[in-house]
A = this chain, B = another copy of it.
Amino acid sequence: MANLSHDHGDHAFCPVHEAINILQEKWTLHIIRNLLDGPKGFNELSRAVGGCNPATLAQRVEKLVGLGILEKTIHSTMPPRTSYALTEAGQALQEVVEAIDRWARRFLKEPVA
């Protein structure tokens, strides 16, 4: 179960509205997509996501950990190594990424140079 701690103001709680608020944060869908094939260390995730500066990426993954979408493991190696994996809630977003993938293959074509 993802932990939801958004400010709702005066509006009634709407799950899909809240989910869009989470998923529309820049890099979030890229992070989730790149973890679907397995846990990654921070640097590996950073290379996979591409173009996101490390401070922003660190902030995004911490937020997703807080929401219960990612889990962080600190491996007791020397030096310690941190890896990130999708939780059950995060893995379930595979359906969303697959829907985006189907749409993209149907409607997005490489622009002519």
Contacts and interface: CB of A to CB of B under 8 A. Distances in A.
Chain A interface, >50% SS class:
helix
B24 A108 contact: no
A78 interface: no
- What is the total number of copies of this protein in its complex? 2
Interface of A: 1-6, 8, 11, 13, 15-20, 23-30, 33, 50, 68, 89, 92-93, 95-111
- Which of A3, A16, A50 has the most C-beta atoms of chain B within 10 angstroms of its own C-beta? A16
A105 B98 CA distance: 18
Given A24-B26, A109-B4, A95 B104 contact: no
A31 B15 CA distance: 16
